[in-house]
Structure 1
Amino acid sequence: MPKGGSPLHAGLYESALLPLEEESGPSTVYAQVIVDVPAKQTNRPFDYVVPDELKTWIGVGSRVGVPFGPRILQGFVIGLSERTDMEASKLKKIEQVLDLMPPLNPELVQLANWMSRTYVCHEITALQAMIPGALKAKYEKMIAVAEDGGRVRQNRTGAGGGQAVMFAGSAEDDAIVEFVRQKTAVSTEAMLSRFPAAGPLLKRMLEQGTLVEVQTVKDRLQAKKMLYVEPALEAEELLAQSRSLPSNAKRQKELLIYFSENPEPAPLAELSEKLGIGAGTMKGLAEKGWLTIKEREVFRDPYEGRKFDRTSPLPLTEQQRNALDPISEALDKKEHNVFLLHGVTGSGKTEVYLQAIQKCLDQGREAIVLVPEISLTPQMVERFKGRFGDAVAVMHSRLSQGERYDEWRKIGLKRVKVVIGARSAVFAPFADLGLIIIDEEHESSYKQEESPKYHARDVAIQRASRHGAAVVLGSATPSLESFSKTVNRRSDYEDGGGSQYRLLTMADRVEGRPLPAVHIVDLREELKEGNRSMFSRGLYKAIEERLHKKEQTVLLLNRRGYSTFVMCRSCGYVVQCPHCDISLTYHQVSRTMRCHYCGLSQPEPKTCPSCDSEHIRYFGTGTQRVEEELGKLFPGIRVIRMDVDTTSEKGAHERLLTRFRNKQADVLLGTQMVAKGLDFPDVTLVGVIAADTVLHLPDFRAAEKTFQLLTQVAGRAGRHKLPGEVFIQTYTPDHYSIVTASRHDYKAFLDSELEMRRERGYPPYCELALITFSHEQVPLLVRAGESFVARLKDCWQRSRNKAETGLAHSPVQPSYFEVYGPVASPIPRIKDRYRFQCMVKYRVGVDVSGMLTETAAAFDETVRQEKLQISIDVNPQVLM
Structure 2
Amino acid sequence: MYASVIVQISSKNVDRLYTYKIPDHLKDKIQPGSRVFVSFGPRMIQGFVIEVSQHTDLDPSKIKEIQKVMDIEPVLTKELIELSKKLADYYVERHIKVIEAILPAALKMKSKSVLKLSNEASLEAVNQFKQFHNDKINVKNLTMDDLKLLIPFINSKDIYEEKEFEQHTKMKTRRGIESNYLDARPSSRAVKQIELLELVENKGPMTYESIEEEGYSIGIINALVDKGFCKKIDILVERDPFEGRVFYEDKKKVLTDEQARAFKAINQSIQNNTHETFLLHGITGSGKTEVYLQVIEEVLNRGENAIMMVPEIALTPQMVNRFKSRFGDDVAVMHSMLSHGERYDEWRKIREGRARISIGARSNVFAPFDNIGCIIIDEEHESTYKQNERPYYHAREVAKWRAEYFNCPLILGSATPSLESYARSEVNVYKRLELTKRPTNQTLPTPEIVSMSKEREAGNTSIISRNLDMKIRDRIEKDEQMILLLNRRGYANFLVCQNCGHVPMCPNCDISLTYHKSNASLMCHYCAYEEPMPHACGVCGEHDLSLRGTGTQKIEEVLRDTYNVDIVRMDIDTTRQKGAHEKLLKQFEEESVPILLGTQMIAKGLDFKNVTLVGVLNADTILNLPDYRANERTFQLLTQVSGRAGRGDIKGEVVYQTYNEDHYAIQLAKNNNYREFFLREMEFRKLARYSPYYFHILFTVSSENIEDVIKASSDVHKEIQNHVSKSSIIIGPSPSPIERIQNKYRFQIILKYKSEPELFDVLHKLDTKYSINYQKTKTALRIDVDPEYIM
TM-score (norm 2): 0.95
Structure 1 distance, partners of 2:314, 2:82, is 32
Are the structure 2 counterparts of residues 724 and 822 from structure 1 closer, same or farther at C-alpha, using a change threshold of 3 Å?
same
Aligned pair 1:255/2:196, yes or no? yes
Per-residue CA deviation, residues 335-374 of structure 1 (Å, 9 max, x unaligned), is 1110010000000000000000000111111100010000
| 1:711-743 CA-partner distances (Å, limit 9, x unpaired) | 000000001211000000011011111100011
Q: In the alignment, which residue of structure 1 is the partner of 2:452?
A: 523
**1:791 equivalent in structure 2:** 719
Per-residue displacement from partner, 1:378-405 (whole Å, max 9, x unpaired)?
A: 0000000111110110000111110000
The alpha carbon displacement at 1:419 in A equals: 0.3
User: What does residue 700 of structure 2 align with?
Assistant: 772
The Cα shift of 1:287 comes to 2.9
The answer to whether the aligner puts 1:219 opposite 2:167 as a matched pair is yes
- How does 1:354-393 map onto structure 2 within 5 Å? 354-393=293-332
Q: Match of 2:106?
A: 134
The residue number in structure 1 matching 2:138 is 187
Residue 849 of structure 1 corresponds to 760
Is the Cα contact below 8 Å between 2:114 and 2:164 reproduced in 1?
A: no
Distance, in Å, in 2 between the alignment partners of 1:216 and 1:458 is 39
For residue 816 of structure 1, report the CA deviation from its aligned partner.
3.0
How large is the Cα RMSD of the aligned pairs?
2.6
Q: Name the SS for the 2:448 alignment partner.
A: strand
- From 88, 92, 99, give the equivalent of 2:71: 99
* Post-superposition CA distance 1:403-443 (Å, at most 9, x none): 00011111111111100001111111111111000000000
5 Å matches for 1:294-693?
294-486=233-425, 488-489=426-427, 500-635=429-564, 637-693=565-621
From 50, 66, 74, the equivalent of 1:78 is 50
Task: Tell me the distance in 2 between the aligned counterparts of 1:214 and 1:868.
Answer: 40
Q: Is the CA contact 1:394–1:420 (under 8 Å) kept in the aligned structure 2?
A: yes
Residues 469-528 of structure 1: CA deviation (Å, up to 9, x unaligned): 110000000000111111x447xxxxxxxxx21111101111211001210010000000
Cα distance between partner residues in 1 of 2:69 and 2:133? 21
In the alignment, does 2:772 pair up with 1:861? yes
1:709 aligns to 2:646 (yes or no): no
Identity %: 43
Q: Which amino acid aligns with 1:831?
A: Q
> Partners of 2:145 and 2:769 in 1: how far apart?
54
CA deviations over 1:528-573 (Å, ceiling 9, x no partner): 0000111000100101000011000000001111011111111111
Shift of 1:231: 4.7
Q: CA deviation at 1:230?
A: 4.5
Q: How far off its partner does 1:841 sit?
A: 0.5
Query: Which has the larger displacement, 507-516 or 363-372?
Result: 507-516
Q: Is 2:20 aligned against 1:48? A: yes
Cα deviation code 1:799-856 (max 9, x no counterpart): x6xxxxxxxxxxxxxx832222111111111111111111110014545333211233
- Answer yes or no: is the 8 Å Cα contact 1:73–1:217 preserved in 2: no
Match of 2:208 in 1: 268
Amino acid at match of 1:228: G
- Say yes or no: does 1:67 pair with 2:20: no
**How far is 1:862 from its partner?**
1.7
List alignment gaps of at least 5 residues for structure 1: 1-28, 153-168, 491-499, 801-814
Note the C-alpha offset of 1:42: 1.3
Output the amino acid matched with 1:638.
Answer: D
Cα distance in 2 for partners of 1:182, 1:848 equals: 58
2:734 aligned residue (813, 816, 823):
823
Offset from partner CA, 1:141-181 (integer Å, 9 cap, x none) = 525689xx9999xxxxxxxxxxxxxxxx9934985599999
For residues 694 and 577 of structure 1, the distance between their equivalents in structure 2, rounded to whole angstroms, comes to 22
**Per the alignment, in what secondary structure is the counterpart of residue 605 of structure 1?**
coil
User: In 1, are the aligned partners of 2:116 and 2:135 still within 8 Å (CA)?
Assistant: no
Q: For 1:33-87, what per-residue CA distance to the aligned partner results, in whole angstroms no more than 9, with x for missing partners?
A: 1112222221110001111222222211111111110011111111000111221
Shift of the 40–284 alpha-carbon distance from structure 1 to 2, 3 Å rule, reads same
Q: In 2 relative to 1, CA 597–170 (structure 1 residues): closer, same or farther, beyond 3 Å?
A: farther
Decide which moves more: 369-378 or 68-77. Answer: 68-77
How far is 1:703 from its partner?
0.5
CA spacing shift, 1:179–1:81, aligned 2, 3 Å: farther
How far does the alpha carbon of each residue in 1:246-302 deviate from its partner, in whole angstroms, 9 at most, with x for none? 4xx565355357558x64543211321441x33232021133233444322111111
Range with greater deviation from structure 2 (784-793 or 852-861): 852-861
Distance 1:173 1:833 in 2: 58
One-letter identity of the residue aligned with 1:437? I
**Cα separation, partners in 2 of 1:206 and 1:690, compared to 1, 3 Å:** farther
> Greater CA deviation, 355-364 or 171-180?
171-180
Q: Which amino acid is the alignment partner of residue 317 of structure 1?
A: T
Return the alpha-carbon distance in structure 2 between the equivalents of residues 282 and 151 of structure 1: 41
For residues 473 and 665 of structure 2, the distance between their equivalents in structure 1, rounded to whole angstroms, comes to 29
**Which whole-Å CA distance do the structure 2 matches of 1:870 and 1:150 have between them?**
55
State the distance in 2 between where 1:731 and 1:596 align.
Answer: 25
Cα deviation, 1:739-789, whole Å, max 9, x if unaligned, reads 000111101111111111111000001000001111110011111110111
- Judge conservation of contact 2:770–2:780 (CA < 8 Å) in 1: no
Residue range with higher mean Cα deviation, 55-64 or 762-771: 55-64
Q: Residues of 2 paired with 1:110 and 1:615: CA distance?
A: 62
In structure 2, the partner of 1:810 is none
Alignment pair present for 1:122 and 2:75:
no
Secondary structure of the residue that 2:746 maps to in structure 1? strand
In structure 2, distance between residues paired with 1:639 and 1:626: 10
| Equivalent residue, structure 2, for 1:718 | 646
Q: Judging changes above 3 Å, is the alpha-carbon distance between structure 1 residues 96 and 267 closer, same or farther for their aligned structure 2 residues?
A: same
What is the CA–CA distance in structure 2 between the aligned matches of 1:702 and 1:869, rounded to whole Å? Answer: 28
Counterpart-to-counterpart distance in 2, 1:408 and 1:464: 20
Q: Distance in 2 between matches of 1:844 and 1:653?
A: 43
Q: In structure 1, what residue type is equivalent to 2:654?
A: V
Q: How does 1:732-747 map to 2 (within 5 A)?
A: 732-747=660-675
Structure 2 residue 124 is matched with structure 1 residue 171: yes
User: Residue 446 of structure 2 contacts residue 653 of structure 2 at CA under 8 Å; is this kept in 1?
Assistant: yes
Aligned mates of 2:586, 2:552 — CA distance in 1 = 20
1:879 matched to 2:790? The reply is yes
Contact 1:150 1:211 in 2 (8 A): no
SS in 2 for 1:550: coil
What is the one-letter code of the residue matched to 1:50? I
Q: Secondary structure at 1:658's aligned position in 2?
A: helix
SS at match of 1:859: helix
**Distance in 2 separating the partners of 1:648 and 1:68:** 39
Q: 1:220 to 1:840 in 2, by over 3 A?
A: same
Structure 1 counterpart SS, 2:685 = helix
Q: TM-score if structure 1 supplies the norm length?
A: 0.86
1:275-334 Cα shifts (integer Å, max 9, x gaps): 1x3323202113323344432211111111112111221000001001111110000011
Distance 2:74 2:587 in 1: 42
| 1:755 partner letter | E
Structure 2: tracts of 5 or more residues without a match:
none
Checking the alignment, whether the CA contact within 8 Å between 1:119 and 1:849 is kept in structure 2 is: no
Report how many aligned residue pairs link the two structures: 791
